Amino acid sequence: MSIRIGILGYGNLGRGVECAVKQNPDMELAAVFTRRDPADVHIMTETAKVYHVDEAVKMKDEIDVLILCGGSATDLPKQTPEFAQYFNVVDSFDTHAKIPEHFADVDAAAKKSGKIGLISVGWDPGMFSLNRLYSNAILPEGTDYTFWGKGVSQGHSDAVRRIDGVVDARQYTIPVEKALSAVRNGENPVLTTGEKHTREVFVVAEDGADKEKIEKEIKTMPNYFDEYETTVHFISEEQMKAEHAGLPHGGFVIRTGKTGWEQEHSHVIEYSLKLDSNPEFTSSVIAAYARAAYRLNREGQSGCRTVFDIAPAYLTVKSPEELRKHML
C-alpha cells in the first residue's frame, strides 16, 4: 500500500512536493489543501483533489503524512502544532533561532495525538545541518564553514522590492571563490558572512525613477546589504522574465580538522549542493523524510523529530538487505 500524502499550501514548495511524490513509487498524492477557493487551484496530479483547508481534519484517516508548505514567519508556528493533533506532519521551518520553541510546541501536540511531527526538513536546515553534525562528530578538533549560493535569496529580493521606485528585483548571493579556496586549503581563515559572500541585485525600476538613489538605498540597507560587496544592475521587465525566472540555489558546508597524537594531520570534509530549483530540491528532501515519519509512526513512535533523530535507512524505499548489498 502506498504512503498517502497530503499537501497543505500550494505555492512553489507545495508544487515541488507534488513533483517529488510522483518520483517515489511507494507514495501517492491524496489531497491538496488550500486557504484559497479550491476551484481556483489547479494541480498537476489527475488522481488527487483540491480541498479547502477547513476540510483537512475530516480527512485524517485518508492521509498518512500531511506536508505543511507554508511560510516560517507566520504559517508554520501555528499550523504544525495544530495539524500534529491529527496527522503525521513534516515541515521545513527555517527560522533557526526559533527552532527550540517550535520543537516544544510540535512535540507536545504530537505526543498527545500519538503522531510524528518532523520539523525543519530541507537543505538548510536539513542536509547542511546533518553534514555539520556528522563532520563535527568525526573531527572534534576543527572549524566549520558554511557558504551559500550561488542562488536567489527571496528575503533579500523582497527587501529590494519594498524600495520606492522598484517594480521588481532579484538578489543573488554569491560565495567568494578566494575565501572558499582558503578554507579548502586548510588555512582556517576567520571570515565574516560578508567576507564569504557578495551580493548581486537585478532591478526593474519605474520609468523616470532615480536609479542612483535606488542603488544607494540598496547598498546601505542595514543587515541586508551594508556589510557586503553589492553590485546593482538595472534591467528591463522582459530581461527579468527571460533571465531571472528560476530559483537556483546551493552552497557549501566545509569542516577542516586535525587528527593525530600531536594533531599533525589535516582533513577537509566538504558537502555541496548546486540546485536548479531551491523549492523542488527542498521538496525532494521533505518527501524522503515523509517516508521516515510514516514508518516511525507505524512502529508506534510519536512526538517531534528533526533530521538528527532519523536513521538514514528510514529514508529510502530500498530494504535493509538491498542497502547493505548495493550501497554500503
The amino acid present at 211, given as its one-letter code, is K
Q: What is the distance between the alpha carbons of residues 120 and 94, in angstroms, rounded to a whole number?
A: 6
What residues contact 160, with CB distance under 8 A and at least 6 apart? 166, 169, 171, 201, 203, 218
Q: What is the distance between the alpha carbons of residues 200 and 152, in angstroms, rounded to a whole number?
A: 10
Given the rule CB under 8 A, which residues bind its own copies?
Answer: 16, 18-20, 22-24, 44, 96, 99-100, 103, 120, 125, 127, 129-134, 136-141, 184, 259-261, 265-277, 280-281, 283-285, 288, 291, 306-313, 315-318, 320-321, 323-325, 327-328
For residue 136, the minimal CB distance to its own copies (Å) is 6
For residue 186, the minimal CB distance to its own copies (Å) is 8
Which positions make up the binding site for substrate?
148, 173, 199, 249, 278
163 vs 313, beta carbon nearer its own copies: 313
140 vs 222, beta carbon nearer its own copies: 140
Which positions make up the binding site for NADP(+)?
10-13, 34-36, 69-72, 92-94, 121-125
User: DSSP letter at 141?
Assistant: S
Q: What is the distance between the alpha carbons of residues 81 and 316, in angstroms, rounded to a whole number?
A: 26
What residues contact 278, with CB distance under 8 A and at least 6 apart? 151, 152, 247, 248, 249
For residue 169, the minimal CB distance to its own copies (Å) is 23
For residue 320, the minimal CB distance to its own copies (Å) is 7
70 vs 126, beta carbon nearer its own copies: 126
39 vs 328, beta carbon nearer its own copies: 328
58 vs 318, beta carbon nearer its own copies: 318
Cβ atoms of 134 and 307 within 8 Å: the answer is: no
Nearest to 295 by CA among 88, 121, 18: 88
For residue 214, the minimal CB distance to its own copies (Å) is 32
